[in-house]
Structure 1
């Protein structure tokens, strides 16, 4: 039997690219993270450039964009020899798009940069699910070679969360004994799950969620600026990557449909509930099914938070504030919604593990939400 032809490099998906968005190396402007940029620049200007930097925050905030911006800056900025004719300290991390380093990074041809990410599996014809120890060894071998110009080198690890145990241990050894003139930029979406020894050997740059104004500016760069950025900022948790996913899957309309459906609680409109559940059913609708699960969980979390804190967040859909105020008017009711959210999340995980019919799972979740609303209305 003949083997299937190998997938050409240019046709392979990139594991660190958000669908529908430019790759982080293609984005020269970073929106809303001035504090993190300033913290790195201050350390650089003070001569206290750490060998390991961990850039943290939820998925899609711009961590990879910052990592590429730092790499571009380090590789394009001449090292200061401390002489009397040394140039003034840089005031920003910005490097022009027409700089040679920018061109080489864009083409992934910069010899002083090592990009560590999930590799392509030619046998399975898909990306590997984890970063393996073999990939970390390639990076260590790369650093064992002398730089062509004897200057600085940079590695971007996107993301360190995707390393298996052996790969994480190999990275730890590299952090414990870093090669000279090497800066490691580790991207982590969930740093609490990493080895404490890895975290302790890095300086952290924590990125905060974007507000609505910064969200609009960031999305404008991708060509997808919304008319009203507030709902997207609320539903995405301030993550540009998540906002793009929501827009690509018509998530604003889906969430508005959920709010409209839940407005009928505790007398659920079952025909509308069935229609909503069918959206996530069938082959090819897996992404919308996942999004619906996320939006239901988010709605319940917003109910719990509003009842506990005593005020509603900015509306993510028309009529949401009134609905939240009615369903979760006090901390006691908020506790019920929080417990339900946890229970439904566990049920969703079990249902997906046994390949439960998506429409049935969604319908069951909606019915349990209706049952809880009815119970609270009778108190």
Structure 2
């Protein structure tokens, strides 16, 4: 039987893995908070790295792990017993032995807890299961004899199932000596309250357009950083995905199509819908268009509430949002439609509804709402 090579669950497609990323942009406050705790001897055994998906939580976890494993635990004194200077950065030279071993996946002091294969071994499991946590327990037990630091990265902690979460909780309640656990969490509210209470939180913020441009350049992705910043909500991971999938052009198509409302350009609507049903990457295209339409509706609702239509995610978008959602009553209508279409899209994907039909249904309902608002 041919062995199946599974993708890494903690890698953004088209971007370097966090272990290969040397620089972290826009998260200086989180790094400084960790370094201050380290320098003052208040290094907590459990750290919860939170914030929107794709803003650098995993990259920070790998930077912290690299720093801890490359820094001798007893390096606390300087010449003649004077205190050593407090570290001002998590940077470790890329040619450092620890950095090289981590890039190769061969660092004995590091364990990465993430989703493993399903029972058949042909796909990744949808969650982190308790068997993976048992491997972590074995790692901590076997490596304890070596002394020194050990670091565990959990990516992502909100993917733990109940049994796995309870098993991890026991490790947090009785942390092994010299072990530091770094939990990446996109939705920390999904974690057990007892897990959250036993960790110190480091919250990462969305990136500004300049920081996003730096992160994109570092990942080898090119695109309009100001527009990508709006569409991705400051998430470098989401921005890379949009670049790789042609998200900027797709959103521009949506804006141009809906500029015809409340008299929908039906041939253009059919063309856009049929693009999601073409062979080769159709599922990815459908998911992209659904996500972008969902975002467009959310921006319509927000524009009507706040009276602010910018900044633009596509040329002409601000004027379109202001015209279609000029007041709070319109905002409520768009918000209701946003919720309704979101549920219909999830149901349509679950029952494998024809992609073109699913998108056309969404477009026609948006057209109907625009027409009803125009008559008020």
Name the TM tier (shorter chain): over 0.9
**Counterpart residue number, 2:109:** 112
Tell me if 1:58 matches 2:55. no
**Counterpart residue number, 1:35:** 29
Deviation of the 1:313 alpha carbon = 2.3
In the aligned structure 2, how far is the partner of 1:128 from the partner of 1:307? 41
Query: For 1:14-65, what per-residue CA distance to the aligned partner results, in whole angstroms no more than 9, with x for missing partners?
Result: 1111111000000010011001101111111111111111111122111110
CA contact (8 A) 1:6 1:122 kept: no
Deviation of the 1:12 alpha carbon = 3.5
Alignment of 1:8-47 (within 5 A): 11-47=5-41
Tell me if 1:48 matches 2:42. yes
> What TM-score, normalized by structure 2, do the two folds share?
0.96
Q: What is the number of residues matched between the two proteins?
A: 372
In the aligned structure 1, how far is the partner of 2:340 from the partner of 2:296? 14
CA contact (8 A) 1:80 1:86 kept: no
**Counterpart residue number, 2:97:** 100
Deviation of the 1:121 alpha carbon = 4.4
CA contact (8 A) 1:297 1:341 kept: yes
The equivalent position to 1:67 in structure 2, one of 55, 61, 65, is: 61
**Counterpart residue number, 1:233:** 229
Task: Compute the RMSD of aligned alpha carbons.
Answer: 1.4
Deviation of the 1:249 alpha carbon = 1.0
CA contact (8 A) 2:115 2:128 kept: yes
CA contact (8 A) 2:76 2:84 kept: no
Tell me if 1:90 matches 2:87. yes
Alignment of 1:146-185 (within 5 A): 146-147=143-144, 149-185=146-182
The more displaced of 276-285 and 213-222 is 276-285
In the aligned structure 2, how far is the partner of 1:334 from the partner of 1:177? 50
Counterpart secondary structure, 1:326: helix
In the aligned structure 1, how far is the partner of 2:131 from the partner of 2:170? 14
In the aligned structure 2, how far is the partner of 1:159 from the partner of 1:5? 29
Tell me if 1:258 matches 2:241. no
Counterpart secondary structure, 1:120: coil
Alignment of 1:219-230 (within 5 A): 219-226=216-223, 228-230=224-226
Counterpart secondary structure, 1:161: helix
Alignment of 1:128-139 (within 5 A): 128-139=125-136
CA contact (8 A) 1:217 1:225 kept: no
CA contact (8 A) 1:112 1:147 kept: no
In the aligned structure 2, how far is the partner of 1:57 from the partner of 1:6? 36
CA contact (8 A) 2:222 2:243 kept: no
CA contact (8 A) 2:53 2:235 kept: yes
The equivalent position to 1:351 in structure 2, one of 348, 352, 355, is: 348
In the aligned structure 2, how far is the partner of 1:43 from the partner of 1:6? 45
Give the gaps of 5 or more residues in structure 1.
none
Query: For 1:126-174, what per-residue CA distance to the aligned partner results, in whole angstroms no more than 9, with x for missing partners?
Result: 2222211011011012112244641111000111111111101101111
CA contact (8 A) 1:55 1:188 kept: yes
Counterpart secondary structure, 2:43: coil
Deviation of the 1:311 alpha carbon = 0.9
**Counterpart residue number, 1:276:** 272
The equivalent position to 1:242 in structure 2, one of 238, 243, 256, is: 238
The more displaced of 21-30 and 303-312 is 303-312
Give the gaps of 5 or more residues in structure 2.
none
> What TM-score, normalized by structure 1, do the two folds share?
0.95
The equivalent position to 1:187 in structure 2, one of 184, 188, 194, is: 184
Counterpart secondary structure, 2:257: helix
The more displaced of 299-308 and 114-123 is 114-123
Q: 1:370 to 1:129 in 2, by over 3 A?
A: same
In the aligned structure 2, how far is the partner of 1:275 from the partner of 1:259? 14
In the aligned structure 1, how far is the partner of 2:118 from the partner of 2:363? 40
